[in-house]
A and B are shown apart, each in its own frame.
Chain A
């Protein structure tokens, strides 16, 4: 599209921002990346202006207009740049399925992931079990024997999960468990996704995520 200015306000470790980086790459959309340091307590003037209600990344800024919330931005990207790499299928029922599973996936970090790195003992164990049970359900009910969640094509639900998956290396260390062992089909799916350039070029270094979480544990006295 001519004269299109796209800015992504994001944080390198953000699992939500990663979703948008992958989508923008899938669609081959040129954009300017602006880093927001979400690990510090300082919010940039641009962030406060573009997302005054939540003050969080990622924010997609298209020709000066902000779109906040990762799934909302994904739908926006899909509707505006509709001629390449559709993220959602055309059939309304299939779209509903994709949105349903994306919603399910979205709750995994808030309900379980966060507790795995930030707690210990029984709470941590409970969170681990919750995550593994949820991933097993996802594997069985949503993915099955398909290549991707949507079938043959990489799409919305895959992008939803790949963001969170980038944190799993760190969570596995903190929680002392292996997702590959528990969910082999999901692991195969993850490896398949990483063969896509849009994913491999967007993923943060998993070791750096681990180091970031170690830092946060120290900062907030969670050791």
Chain B
């Protein structure tokens, strides 16, 4: 694990003098195209926390990443005061507990339990069903996986019936956890040709998606759509060739 020396400084020589640069207090090791990585960024933005972002090359992981997350060797990793926190949902809770600013989770214990339940559902069962359906042309049982995806998406759509965001009036824990749906899902739909979300089927989900992408924390902080589309099209090609 990372050393806990809080006085670690990076020295850099410029033309006339030696400058001391303090290691940024909050560092994020991530990948711009990853929804897990962006969750952490948006949570930091909600809190107004300044951070230094390092783009990791997943084909050639940095020593810092490997040292900070020896168990899973994955991004995102938040490094705060030289201590590493791993797993995006664990990081979200840490951010909410550590930094001042708007709350990401509600205050009331029961409401917190409900928020955690929805976050787990969206991050788990929902994402799994949606992912399987989106790539079902290359897997088994295309129709069956699409039906399962429709079922979970309908649950989310119902949950959004009278709400601007899943968290209420403002983007919160559950919305951040569900971030794949408003942005990445539609790009993968275009790449694979499998369309799951329409405004006829899921009107509230679509309305939420539009609000979501307009949030100040999100709209300035999205990966480039064309780049993401290129990435997913390449995956489709690879999957087609494999099949």
Contacts and interface: CB of A to CB of B under 8 A. Distances in A.
A73 B113 CA distance: 7
B193 interface: no
B97, B113, B117, B125, most chain A CB atoms within 10 A: B113
A54 B152 CA distance: 11
B71 A96 contact: no
A18 B89 CA distance: 24
B117 A99 contact: no
Interface string B113-130: 100110011000100000
18 contacts: A53-B121, A53-B125, A67-B110, A69-B116, A72-B113, A72-B120, A75-B113, A76-B109, A76-B113, A79-B109, A80-B109, A93-B80, A95-B93, A99-B87, A100-B86, A100-B90, A141-B70, A141-B71
B163 interface: no
Interface string B183-195: 0000000000000
A79 B70 CA distance: 31
Given A53-B121, A103-B87, A92 B116 contact: no
B71 A104 contact: yes
A67, A92, A99, A104, most chain B CB atoms within 10 A: A92
A61 to B, nearest CB: 12
Interface residues of B, number: 24
Contacts of B93: 95-96, 99
Contacts of A54: 125
Contacts of A67: 110, 113, 117
Interface string A79-102: 110000000000011011001100
Nearest to A82: B109
A62 B112 CA distance: 14
B31 interface: no
Interface residues of A, number: 23
Given A69-B120, A72-B117, A99-B90, 16 more contacts: A62-B110, A65-B110, A67-B113, A69-B116, A72-B113, A72-B120, A73-B113, A75-B113, A75-B116, A76-B110, A93-B80, A93-B83, A95-B93, A95-B97, A99-B93, A141-B71
Interface of A: 53-54, 62, 65, 67-69, 72-73, 75-76, 79-80, 92-93, 95-96, 99-100, 103-104, 137, 141
Contacts of B109: 76, 79-80
A67 B89 CA distance: 19
B231 interface: no
B80, B86, B116, B121, most chain A CB atoms within 10 A: B116
Given A76-B113, A104-B71, A95 B121 contact: no
Contacts of B85: 93, 96, 100
B112 A68 contact: no
Contacts of A92: 94, 97-98
Contacts of A53: 121, 125, 155
B79 to A, nearest CB: 11
B203 to A, nearest CB: 21
Contact of B87 (A69, A93, A100): A100
Nearest to A93: B83
A54, A100, A103, most chain B CB atoms within 10 A: A100
Contacts of B91: 96
